[in-house]
Amino acid sequence: MKNLIIGFIVLAITLSCNSSNDDVAISNSSNVDTTPILPTSVFVYSGNSISYSLKYSYVGSKIKEIIRDNLKYIYTYNGNNITKEEWSVNGEIKLIKEFSYLNDRVSSVKVTNKITSPAIVYTKNIEYVNDFHIKYNEYDLEGNLVSQIEAYFDSKGNQINIISKLSAGTIKSVSTFDNKNNPFKNIIGYAKIKMIDENAGGLIGEGMSGSNNLLKRESDSSLTSYVTCTYVYNALNNYPKEQSRKYLNEPEETIKYYYNKL
């Protein structure tokens, strides 16, 4: 009888320990950070001086706002699509871009320019020839036609070719990319608007719509490179920590990226 009682006690202790361990395992699994890598700040240098900086804030993986010095970009979503970008200066809304979607792709952008008085409103329509080829007209802030664009993308969303038809002639260019991670690839909905607007988000530059990073863009007529980029990557995850960007006949820029976790 004594051995039987001891056996029951040992069994009870064992079950209790296993239950406790299960609770710990469940607790530990619930504490796993599933947030993707997101940029929190970007600094752009010309020489040793900061040209401008940007700070990013989020709700989950959705961009909430981007602050560039005294400018602020505020974002509105419908589901996982960005439907509005508002650009304010010292708290006053100056420019509004409203994105409409068809088949989960940007079909048009309505631009309201409040910099001028009265405000100027125009719409940029996007034509999808196929999943990798789009057409649209580019306008200045006063709504005047600047160029007719044909852009081509690879399977990862990188803009590999672009044809710009201007009044003075046609400019054709071809771009090459690395196979590393673009800093902005995990921001929900961001790549869709960058496909049709390189100035969205305040960080001006080519090649930010896809999953990878621009190495160079050159004219396909003379193959003269007019922008080249080199990177220093984080060895653990292949996200860039630093980028050197050189435009033809312009000083080299250095861009430093900081993330929510690395």
User: In the predicted model, what is the mean pLDDT of residues 230-248?
Assistant: 95
**pTM, whole model, 2 decimals?**
0.84
The tens digit of pLDDT for each residue in 170-205 reads: 889 999 999 999 999 999 999 999 999 888 887 766
Burial 227-246 (b: 16+ CB within 10 A, else e): bbbebebeeeeebbbebebb
* Domains contained in the chain, CATH given: 39-259 (2.40.160.190)
- Between the alpha carbon of residue 99 and those of residues 78, 105, 159, 206, 260, the distances in Å are 10, 10, 20, 20, 27
Q: What is the DSSP letter of 222?
A: T
Q: What is the DSSP letter of 12?
A: H
**Roughly how many angstroms between the first and final C-alpha of the chain, as a whole number?**
60
Beta bridge partners of 245: 229, 253
- Between the alpha carbon of residue 85 and those of residues 144, 202, 248, the distances in Å are 21, 11, 31
User: Using an 8 Å Cβ cutoff, are 163 and 150 in contact?
Assistant: yes
**Within the chain, where are the H helices?**
2-30, 190-194
Predicted confidence at residue 147, as pLDDT, reads 92
Give the C-alpha separation, 180 to 182, whole Å: 7
Which of 36-45, 94-103, 163-172 is the least confident region? 163-172
Give the C-alpha separation, 254 to 49, whole Å: 10
Predicted confidence at residue 72, as pLDDT, reads 95
The tens digit of pLDDT for each residue in 70-124 reads: 899 999 999 999 999 999 999 999 999 999 999 999 999 999 999 999 999 999 9
Predicted confidence at residue 224, as pLDDT, reads 57
- Give 101 or 210, the one with higher predicted confidence: 101
User: In the predicted model, what is the mean pLDDT of residues 119-138?
Assistant: 96
